[in-house]
Structure 1
Amino acid sequence: MQKGNAKWAFFFLTPQLIGLIAFAIIPLVSAFVLSFMKWDGFGERTFVGIQNYVSQFSQSDFWTATYNTILYTILTVPVGLFLALVLAVALNKIKGKEFYRLFFFMPVVTSSVSIAVIWMWILNGDLGILNQVLAMIGIEGPNWLTNTSLVMISIAILSIWWQLGYNMVIFLAGLQGISKSYYEAAEIDGASKTQQFFKITLPMLSPTTFFLTIMAIIGSFQVFDQAFVLTQGGPGKASYTLVYHIYQNAFIDFRFGMSAAAAMILFAAILVITLIQFSLQKRWVYYED
């Protein structure tokens, strides 16, 4: 019976394994090999060793992209998770939470390009809805997407709104998994709602928070669609991110070796950050026995 189950398991896993090998492992290995080559996409490939990596670290565009990506991560991850947690706690015990869950989750399943186009009109400095609303209360709205100081904040606001529903739903699932017996015992001991939140809810939600933090940081380092559609990396490369830098090297400058090297650096950075998070989780993540 066990052999038969193993055969059926392998049978159903085979399509996923083929997809993983064809669309993840092979491209990753190919990109790694290409990062040591000089290639314009058409001619012969020339081995240049680590020159592509050296060139990346010596380019001002690479460091600009790195700074913008880190700034975007700082703007989106803490604020996005905090708002999602507040929203999840607020919706956890009200009637009709299924409707609100669907309402907030709808943007998540919408195309990123469609979302960016809609927000392009919302943030338009002359005709945008946001500035019109601000004008109604006597505030002159700025040019959100052409101001170098505000463009990353604008993209961060879009991304927080876009991913809010996903984070909220995951937090809701975590909240519903907390046993009511903890709160009943706390009430018997005279603990206030605030004390229950900080002593029970947050610790019990720590695995969920840990998962969402990792996913949010990985996603923030891969931001591209919003910057590409809204600003094309501008103004003055104020929204020029690492993935946009990879795209620029490959499909605008036709330096595929340089692009692959930048992609490998990004991959290594995400891997290191994720490993650090896993190594630190024992200090704050509580797993119920």
Structure 2
Amino acid sequence: MNYIKKHGEALLYVLPAALIIAVFFISSILYTLVVSFTDWDGLTRSHWVGLKNYVEVFSDVTYITSLKNTFMWVGLSLILPVGLGLLLSILLQQIKGQRLFKNLFYLPYAMSLTVVGVIWIFLFSSSGINYLLTHMGLESWTRDWLQTPHYNTVAMLIASLWQGTGTNMLLFLVGLGSLPKDPFEAAAIDGANRFQIFWRITLPLLNPVTIVVLGLALVNSFKTFDIIWVMTQGGPYRSSETLAVTMYRETFMLFHFGQGAAISILLTILTVVASWFYLRKTIVEE
């Protein structure tokens, strides 16, 4: 009550916008949930099918492949861009011309994922990486990168890594720049080496920044769509689809609105559950 009395006027200004967002957000979720229990094609009258759409997600080979690809994207997106961003931020602290390198590494993030996808389509074509491998005497290493299952997912992960690492690097640089000097000086006096200082002092002090970086990477990896759709459209034979791509294809290309809604609800649940466990763990550790 005291909080409401103290901030009541400010809350009144925020309330209309909050109500509008809440109404549209909640109503869209409820509507999608209802559609997920039907076989609606967007045109004709829908029919109630119960849990049929959800059962198909865990029984159809295409959907299972999509689910596996989604978890692979999540796992590698948490390890590679975050780990490389931390490594680059530490290295940049030790060299001159830090501003130049920061701009170079951040530049890909200023591009849309569509542009990034087009750039890497060229790089993985016969005129790009394959051309270099051929002239280096490594012709046996050449592949049709974007049309070969498993290799196409690796290729898209590389493109995503190139685009997202710079942001993580900048966030870690901000965190490193705000760390107190006293613990590092005390550790150096006590004879700690660089690895010990990094593991025992730098990482624990960076924990608030790391929580933010990992949280953003977690949510973004679950909804990866743009770069996959531009580079492969989930092909060949839907082998590189994630749940977000499958949801789009089922809903807006095949007009299986019920199936698409079921996938979107599943994707939402996975994102919320993963975020809850992650935040719960980090809060407990704090």
- The normalised TM-score by structure 1 is 0.88
Paired-residue identity, %: 32
Give, in whole Å, the separation in 1 of the partners of 2:112 and 2:24.
21
Alignment of 1:90 onto 2:91 = yes
Q: Which amino acid letter does the alignment assign opposite residue 13 of structure 2? A: F
Q: Residue in 2 aligned with 1:133?
A: 132
Give, in whole Å, the separation in 1 of the partners of 2:39 and 2:177.
53
The alpha-carbon distance between structure 1 residues 23 and 223, as it changes in their structure 2 partners (threshold 3 A), is: farther
SS of equivalent to 2:251: helix
Q: Residue in 2 aligned with 1:68?
A: 69
Q: Residue in 2 aligned with 1:178?
A: 179
The alpha-carbon distance between structure 1 residues 173 and 22, as it changes in their structure 2 partners (threshold 3 A), is: farther
The range that moved more, 172-181 or 94-103, is: 94-103
SS of equivalent to 2:58: helix
Q: Residue in 2 aligned with 1:262?
A: 263
The alpha-carbon distance between structure 1 residues 180 and 28, as it changes in their structure 2 partners (threshold 3 A), is: same
Q: Residue in 1 aligned with 2:195?
A: 194
Give, in whole Å, the separation in 1 of the partners of 2:93 and 2:19.
40
Alignment of 1:11 onto 2:13 = yes
Q: Residue in 1 aligned with 2:108?
A: 107
The range that moved more, 169-178 or 29-38, is: 29-38
Q: Residue in 2 aligned with 1:204?
A: 205
Q: Count residues in correspondence.
A: 281
Alignment of 1:281 onto 2:282 = yes
Give, in whole Å, the separation in 2 of the partners of 1:59 and 1:148.
18
Give, in whole Å, the separation in 1 of the partners of 2:176 and 2:24.
35
The alpha-carbon distance between structure 1 residues 147 and 173, as it changes in their structure 2 partners (threshold 3 A), is: same
Alignment of 1:224 onto 2:251 = no
Alignment of 1:27 onto 2:32 = no
SS of equivalent to 1:47: coil
Q: Is 2:78–2:217's contact at 8 Å kept on the other side of the alignment?
A: yes
Give, in whole Å, the separation in 2 of the partners of 1:107 and 1:29.
37
The alpha-carbon distance between structure 1 residues 231 and 19, as it changes in their structure 2 partners (threshold 3 A), is: farther
Moved over 4 A (4+): 2-6, 12-15
